[in-house]
Amino acid sequence: MPERIERLAEQVAAAGFDWLLVSAPLNVRWLTGFTGSNAVALCPAAPGRNPAVLLTDFRYTEQAAEQAPSAWQIEIASNDLLGPGLAEKFPLSDVDQSGYGTVGYDDTHVTVAQLAALRTAFDQRADFEPLSGSVEALRVIKSAAEVEKIRAAANLADAAMVELLEVGIVGRSEVDVALALELAIRRLGAQELSFPPIVAAGAHGALPHAEPREVTIEKGQMVTLDWGARLDGYCSDCTRTFLTGELDEVQQRIYDVVLDAQLAAVAAVEAGPTGREVDLVARTIIDSAGFGENFGHGLGHGVGLDVHEAPRLSRKGDTPLEAGMIVTVEPGIYVAGLCGVRIEDLLLVTADGSEALSSLPKEPQVVI
């Protein structure tokens, strides 16, 4: 964990800041190990001279001491952390009494009201300037321990799906299937789902983020399920489109195109290309099959403590993939009024390829 402080400190210094105020809970967790609901971390640009501080409230005194390594100086504030609480506890070891210098805050997380409270509480003694994305940039490369946690979450999610398919989904409502999946995931040991599961049968599958309905899954439909488990804080994410009977020619064609695009994009994942380049591999196949208009979302995203995190595999993905990233590859074709197909795998990027963390078959699978 202290290594994470040092790597972040380098970024803070390079950006010309004196401190970084880390407030988004998952960033605080990644940096300090602390899982409580109310905390901020203060990372100095010069950790040799200034302490790294974890600020929380009375409820978490014991938990913070247990979870955060000794490199973190734990302070307990009695006031709003993003406001007077921080002003009370901000260490002054290295700076003179006239001020703290430039303090970066996460403008994608700190509210306008909180920023105003900070500025009032510090009364000119700190210059608060936006600095977001520093912790997220470090989070993209997973440590070996993080990879194992995500692998375990993916294995658990796969096992829950196998359980569900053994019982069957035909004749049950989408809501009932979503609930059964959630129960299986919880029973197998996950704390929660990565996100509410998607269960979308027939034409409902044309909505990429469909909400389960009180509608019965019939024979002869395509059913898209998108689900994930959160285990020890880390997420998994997987999608399969199952068949509940024979498909017509058009549906079969759509499935084949998505599968081709998915396999080609998976084969393109390795250290080196940008997210945009990998996205283009799948997009070109779907475009040239005549379904370009029906693939309106990006190819994939990073997964870690958050189910959607950097890097992006999309037209906006300008980050080159690096070994140690964990990303999804999930092309889809959605035809309004007819059906939708999406196939999503979770992949660990390696130097010369990728390793799949999800293990369920991708060939068209008829389920009961």
**What residue ranges bind Zn ion (CB under 5 A)?**
226, 237, 239, 328, 344
Contact 198, 227 (CB under 8 A): yes
Closest C-alpha among 141, 133, 326 to residue 228: 326
Amino acid at 316: K
Amino acid at 182: E
Which residues touch 20 (CB under 8 Å, ≥6 apart)?
8, 11, 12, 42, 43, 45, 103, 104, 131, 134
Q: Name which of 18 and 344 has its Cβ closer to Zn ion.
A: 344
Q: Name which of 117 and 140 has its Cβ closer to Zn ion.
A: 140
Q: Name which of 136 and 344 has its Cβ closer to Zn ion.
A: 344
Q: Name which of 118 and 303 has its Cβ closer to Zn ion.
A: 303
Alpha carbons 218 and 214: distance in angstroms, whole number: 13
Task: Give the containing element (helix H, strand E) for 214.
Answer: none
Min CB(275)–Zn ion separation in Å: 13
Min CB(194)–Zn ion separation in Å: 8
Angle 174-187/144-167 helices, nearest 10 degrees? 130
Min CB(342)–Zn ion separation in Å: 8
Min CB(317)–Zn ion separation in Å: 14
Min CB(238)–Zn ion separation in Å: 6
Q: Name which of 121 and 238 has its Cβ closer to Zn ion.
A: 238
CA angle 298, 287, 226 (to 5 degrees): 40
Min CB(303)–Zn ion separation in Å: 7
Tokens of 256: 């084949």
Min CB(344)–Zn ion separation in Å: 5
Q: Name which of 106 and 330 has its Cβ closer to Zn ion.
A: 330
Which residues touch 105 (CB under 8 Å, ≥6 apart)?
21, 23, 115, 118, 128, 129, 130, 131
Across 255-279, b (16+ Cβ under 10 Å) vs e yields bebbbebbbbbbebbbbebbbbebb
Q: Name which of 81 and 327 has its Cβ closer to Zn ion.
A: 327
What are 136's strand-pairing partners? Answer: none
Q: Name which of 136 and 226 has its Cβ closer to Zn ion.
A: 226
Contact 251, 221 (CB under 8 A): no
Strand 238-243 relative to strand 222-227, pairing:
antiparallel
Min CB(227)–Zn ion separation in Å: 7
